[in-house]
Amino acid sequence: MLDRSAPVFVAGHRGLVGSAVLRRLEADGFGDLRTVGREDLDLRDQSAVDAWFDAERPRYVFLVAGTVGGIHANSTRPAEFLYDNLMIHGTVVQAAHRTCVDKLLYLGSSCIYPRLADQPITEEALLSGPLEPTNEGYALAKIAGIKLCETYRRQYGDDFISAMPTNLYGPGDNFDLEGGHVLPALMRRFHEAKEAGDGTVTVWGTGGARREFLHVDDLADACLFLMDHYSDAGHVNVGTGVDLTIRELAEAVRDLVHPGAELAFDTSKPDGMPRKVLDVSRLADLGWTASTSLADGLAETYAWFLEASARGELRL
């Protein structure tokens, strides 16, 4: 179990995941949470990261920072996704090692797995085949992050662990229509179509790709669970184990936000991986399973979207 009074660094605290991890740690009684904004610390800069660790001396680190985005952002900005994430993972892991951090959790992504991996995807599928081209840069950086944690554990004995979440959503998501992920993009598109009195909403791709969606509060709960109970080299999948087609997702969002609207499919946009659903038995065997249903999570996220939009606080 982590010591609730020790200093904890949440790297990436303004993002979807980081803000959920902060909420989870606060709720669990952690009293010394350390964060730093991007304007004050460039996580790609090793000497700046070293200076920050020397000054703050965190005992635990949640490494959930990164350059992230949906299929369009990933496929049009592959160099940024590769470079930024490689650097951020390298600097933070190295600084955590040098300052003798007690435990670090590194967050990867289910896109590390081969495009045609057997489904549901087990942890063993890593590096067993070619990656999905639309997010190869991001996936390579994320694989390097896993290997950093593994090798620092093997060579130096550092207690660095890795979790691989499936597609995430929830309060604090990026609702940018071009750069964001499918769920927030569809939610916003249906919402704006309803406001504009428009009866048709466009969905990218064929609608046949299958994805799994995990509420970010469940992910944050799993991260704390792993930090409290898991200390081993192998990365651990985090998901629900349940997937659906993008068409089914679009219908669920439509029924919540703009019932009766028609769907149109823009097949000039890529589907990406044909199917991505994680085998979550390793985490279940450790004692954790997700608890938020997609229906509840969608309703909660839409309520948050409406409030944040009324306050002018949406990331667009």
Catalytic residue annotation: 138
Kindly state whether residue 182 participates in binding ligand GDP, applying the rule CB under 6 A. yes
As a whole number of angstroms, the distance between CA 136 and CA 111 comes to 8
C-beta of 96 vs 111, nearer to ligand GDP: 111
The residue nearest ligand GDP at its CB is 70
String marking each residue 15-54 x if it binds ligand GDP according to CB under 6 A:
----------------------------------------
Report how far Cα 298 is from the mean position of its chain's Cα atoms: 17
- Nearest approach, Cβ of 271 to ligand GDP (angstroms)? 4
- Nearest approach, Cβ of 186 to ligand GDP (angstroms)? 6
C-beta of 252 vs 286, nearer to ligand GDP: 252
C-beta of 59 vs 142, nearer to ligand GDP: 142
When binding is defined by CB under 6 A, the residue of 65, 87, 209, 227 that contacts ligand GDP is 209
Cis peptide before 120 (omega within 30 of 0): yes
C-beta of 62 vs 204, nearer to ligand GDP: 204
As a whole number of angstroms, the distance between CA 82 and CA 265 comes to 30
Main-chain dihedrals φ then ψ at residue 59, nearest 5 degrees: -95, -25
Who's near 214: CB < 8 A, 6+ residues apart?
A: 165, 166, 167, 168, 169, 238, 239, 240, 290
C-beta of 158 vs 279, nearer to ligand GDP: 279
When binding is defined by CB under 6 A, the residue of 111, 163, 253, 290 that contacts ligand GDP is 111
Helix extents (H) in the chain: 16-27, 46-56, 71-76, 78-98, 136-156, 182-196, 216-229, 246-257, 281-286, 294-310
- Nearest approach, Cβ of 133 to ligand GDP (angstroms)? 11
- Nearest approach, Cβ of 276 to ligand GDP (angstroms)? 6
Kindly state whether residue 191 participates in binding ligand GDP, applying the rule CB under 6 A. no
- Nearest approach, Cβ of 211 to ligand GDP (angstroms)? 5
Amino acid at 309: S
Choices 121-129, 200-208, 217-225, 285-293 (CB under 6 A): range interacting with ligand GDP: 200-208
As a whole number of angstroms, the distance between CA 276 and CA 166 comes to 8
**Contact predicate 57/41, CB 8 Å:** no
Kindly state whether residue 237 participates in binding ligand GDP, applying the rule CB under 6 A. no
| 3-class secondary structure, 282 | helix
**Contact predicate 128/117, CB 8 Å:** yes
Main-chain dihedrals φ then ψ at residue 182, nearest 5 degrees: -60, -45
User: What secondary structure does DSSP assign to 72-106, as a single string?
Assistant: HHHHH-HHHHHHHHHHHHHHHHHHHHHTT-SEEEE
Residues numbered 255-274 forming contacts with ligand GDP, rule: CB under 6 A: 269-272
192 is written with which tokens? 């704006």
Kindly state whether residue 186 participates in binding ligand GDP, applying the rule CB under 6 A. yes
Kindly state whether residue 246 participates in binding ligand GDP, applying the rule CB under 6 A. yes
Kindly state whether residue 203 participates in binding ligand GDP, applying the rule CB under 6 A. yes
String marking each residue 53-82 x if it binds ligand GDP according to CB under 6 A:
-----------------xxx----------
Report how far Cα 85 is from the mean position of its chain's Cα atoms: 13
Binding site for ligand GDP (CB under 6 A): 70-72, 111, 135, 167, 181-182, 185-186, 203-205, 209, 211, 246, 269-272, 276
